């Protein structure tokens, strides 16, 4: 309060001295209001009243400057204090920010919900993504590959009497494939080829070859053309000869 009153008094004095100074008409040879110097070169031409007025104006200006400097020096701490006060008063108060709500482990565990799912295939794992509705965190869970391929018959090759055939199966999902081998096919028999002709009392021979690979399939015997075997015919012949000799012998005895 004292500082305020003192500042008002100084301000009033300065204003009065300034008005008085401005009202004094000083000649060019007298007081210079810009520099505060009295030009004594024209003192002899100044009247007593002019001299006194110039002197009073100079003293008033010096006092005003001195009081103004003192006022600024004294007002500076006040201003600084005021500034500090204002700074303190305008300093934003640190408000206590409420922290994120705390949840129990059970609440957090119950807040997990499934947000997306990629199903597993026969070859690749799937994945389930979960999001926590309380914390916003995410986690994933792998789904093991099923291993259940979807096989389709994609190629069939017939087997021959030389080479095995096969059936090729391919999974329509992952492209995995495998083959089932087919056993060798039987030979395709051609017409019998006679390699030895049969006679009345001797057998003939024929051979059969595969028309695909030419391999010998079988060898067959051709029966003789006479219906009785040679041994039987020989036995009958021998019996007939013996019988004939016996008959001739009897006839010879009777003629004697």
Token pair of 106 as six digits: 């059970």
Residues 6+ apart with CB under 8 A from 202: 224, 230
DSSP the chain: -HHHHHHHHHHHHHHHHHHHHHH----TTSEETTTTEE-GGGGGGS-HHHHHHHHHHHHHHHHHHHHHHHHHHHHHHHHHHHHHHHHHHHSPP---PPPPPP--HHHHHHTEEEEEEE---SSS-EEEEEEETTT--EEEEEE-------EEEEEEE---SSS-EEEEEEETTT--EEEEEEPPPPP-B---EEEE---SSS-EEEEEEBTTT--EEEEEEEPPSSSS-HHHHHHHHHHHHHHHHHHHHHHHHHH-
Phi, psi of 224 (to 5 degrees): -65, 160
| C-alpha–C-alpha distance, residues 47 and 29, integer Å | 12
Per-residue pLDDT at 176 exceeds 70: yes
Are 54 and 24 in contact by the 8 Å Cβ rule? The answer is yes
Token pair of 131 as six digits: 């999001």
pLDDT at 226: 77
Closest CA to 76 of 5, 15, 1, 7: 7
Tens digits of residue pLDDT in 117-160: 999 999 999 999 999 999 999 999 999 999 999 999 999 999 99
Question: How high is the mean pLDDT of the chain?
Answer: 77
Residues 6+ apart with CB under 8 A from 46: 27, 29, 30, 54
Domain boundaries, the chain: 2-82, 109-143, 151-182, 187-228
Per-residue pLDDT at 165 exceeds 90: yes
Tens digits of residue pLDDT in 219-243: 999 988 877 777 777 787 888 888 8
Are 154 and 177 in contact by the 8 Å Cβ rule? The answer is yes
């Amino acid at each position: 309060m004292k500082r305020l009153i003192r500042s008002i008094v100084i301000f009033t004095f300065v204003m009065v001295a300034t008005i008085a100074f401005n009202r004094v008409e000083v000649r060019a040879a007298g007081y210079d209001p810009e520099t505060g110097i009295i030009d004594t070169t024209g003192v002899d031409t100044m009247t007593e009243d002019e001299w006194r007025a110039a002197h009073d104006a100079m003293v008033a200006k010096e006092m005003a400057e001195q009081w103004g400097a003192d006022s600024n020096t004294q007002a500076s701490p006040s201003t600084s204090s005021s500034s500090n006060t204002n700074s303190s008063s305008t300093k934003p108060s640190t408000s206590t920010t409420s922290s994120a709500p705390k949840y129990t482990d059970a609440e957090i565990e119950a807040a997990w919900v499934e947000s997306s799912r990629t199903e597993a295939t026969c070859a690749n794992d799937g994945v389930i993504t979960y999001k926590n509705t309380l914390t916003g965190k995410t986690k994933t869970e792998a789904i093991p590959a099923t291993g259940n391929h979807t096989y389709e018959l994609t190629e069939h090759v017939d087997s021959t009497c030389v080479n095995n055939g096969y059936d090729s199966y391919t999974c329509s999902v992952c492209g995995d494939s495998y083959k089932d081998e087919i056993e060798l096919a039987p030979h395709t028999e051609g017409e019998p080829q006679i390699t030895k002709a049969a006679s009345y009392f001797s057998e003939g021979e024929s051979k059969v070859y595969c028309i695909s690979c030419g391999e010998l399939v079988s060898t067959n015997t051709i029966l003789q053309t006479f219906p009785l075997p040679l041994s039987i015919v020989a036995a009958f012949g021998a019996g007939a000869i013996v019988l004939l000799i016996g008959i001739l012998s009897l006839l010879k005895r009777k003629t004697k």
